[in-house]
Structure 1
Amino acid sequence: MKRIGVASLSMSAAALVTLVVSEWFTPVATIPVKGDRPTVGFGSTYHIDGTPVKLGDTMTPVQALKTAQAHISADEQQFRDSLPGVEMTQEEYDNYIDWVYQYGIGRWINSPMRKSLLSGDHAAACDALLLPQYRTVAGYDCSTPGNKRCYGVWTRAQKRHAICISQLN
């Protein structure tokens, strides 16, 4: 796998489509998982202007795509800035941007994934995607077999880990 400097990368169109499909579209703000924040559109917890989403807020599919793209663009710049000198494949980059979209740039900055990538340990960064703090919602472990509360959180973490591991070489 050919890695290039993170500063040269941006989220691929295919990854954007995958992200919005995994987030589903919700025209009226709801709480997707017990203990989570209200989301609208494609998993947005904030509007483009930075105001938090409140229950009952509405959004059209076009507004949802614009909102998702605005958040991703802002997060991508901070993401790239947080990884000076780091090289990744396009797939790694897309995978971590998907993670940032779900968990936020603030959690990324302090994450073990970022620390591992800065030290050149891509395998440790991959394994950190499965840490307990990234598979729980409101204190509930989403990896619990048979749970119907937040199993998607765990399956998404496993999918990210598999993508990440596939890029090692």
Structure 2
Amino acid sequence: MGRKTGTVGAAAIALVGAWEGLRLTAYRDVVGVPTVCYGETYGVKLGDKYTKAECDAMLMRSLRKHEAGMRKCLKNPDAIPGKSYVAFVSLTYNIGVGAFCRSTARKRLNRGDVRGACNAAKWFNKAGGRTIKGLVNRRAAEHRLCLEGLK
């Protein structure tokens, strides 16, 4: 995962996996999108089935893709503290590269305001136009991790 490999990669996998949960059979998420494994939606059809090993591999590929997209819209991604970086990879995985790259969090990171970016990331707590308790909780956990990176 970029220059921040090893423990950061493992930390991102653990964080995203814990929040997304593992479902081996495709289901509809809270807004009705077919979803499988650790929150994958791309090309998923209801009834699709995967093994845990397939889901783990899918998560790793997807995290790499989302991290690469996140890095492309950041001026100096390697300057972001490790724990904060993991929080932003998790956010990007959850909201998508496009949303992250258009976000206030990204703009603040590019100005060097990591704390402000951590705070702005908390705003992504809605799905289908309504606040979702699970997203509020996830953003709070990412926020705590993000701020730990500043200590």
Same fold (TM over 0.5): yes
Shift of residue 165 of structure 1?
2.1
Percent identity between the two aligned chains: 27
Deviation at 1:37, TM superposition (A): 1.7
Shift of the alpha carbon at 1:36? Answer: 4.4
Task: Name 1:30's counterpart in structure 2.
Answer: 27
For residue 57 of structure 1, report the CA deviation from its aligned partner. 1.3
Cα RMSD of the aligned pairs, angstroms, is: 1.8
> What corresponds to 2:85 in structure 1?
93
SS at match of 2:135: helix
- Number of residue pairs aligned between Structure 1 and Structure 2: 148
Residue 108 of structure 2 is aligned to residue 116 of structure 1:
yes
Shift of 1:18: 2.7
Distance 1:130 1:14, change over 3 A: closer
Change (3 A) 1:61 1:168: same
Deviation at 1:20, TM superposition (A): 1.3
CA distance in 1, matches of 2:149, 2:18: 22
Q: Structure 1 residues 72 and 7, CA, compared in 2 at 3 Å: closer, same or farther?
A: closer
Q: Which residue of 2 aligns with 1:9?
A: 4
2:150 counterpart residue number? 168
The reply on whether 1:70 has 2:61 as its aligned counterpart is yes
Could you tell me which amino acid in structure 2 is paired with residue 135 of structure 1? Answer: N
Matched, 1:158 2:140: yes
Which stretches in structure 2 are left out of the alignment for 5+ residues? none
> Higher mean Cα deviation, 96-105 or 19-28?
19-28
Q: Distance in 2 between matches of 1:105 and 1:140?
A: 21
TM-score (norm 1): 0.80
Q: For residues 67-109 of structure 1, give each alpha carbon's deviation from its aligned partner in whole angstroms, at most 9, with x where no partner exists.
A: 1111111222222222122411111111111111111111111
- Code of the aligned partner of 1:157: R
Does the CA-based 8 Å contact 1:29-1:57 persist in structure 2?
yes
TM (normalized to structure 2)? 0.88
Higher helix fraction (1 or 2): 2
For 2:4, give the aligned amino acid.
L
2:71 paired residue among 80, 85, 90: 80
Which segment is superposed worse, 158-167 or 96-105?
Answer: 158-167
Correspondent of 1:140 among 118, 130, 148? 130
Of structures 1 and 2, the larger Rg is shown by 1
- Secondary structure, in 3 states, of the residue corresponding to 1:12? helix
Separation of aligned partners in 2, 1:96 and 1:103: 10
Structure 1 runs (4+) greater than 6 angstroms displaced: none
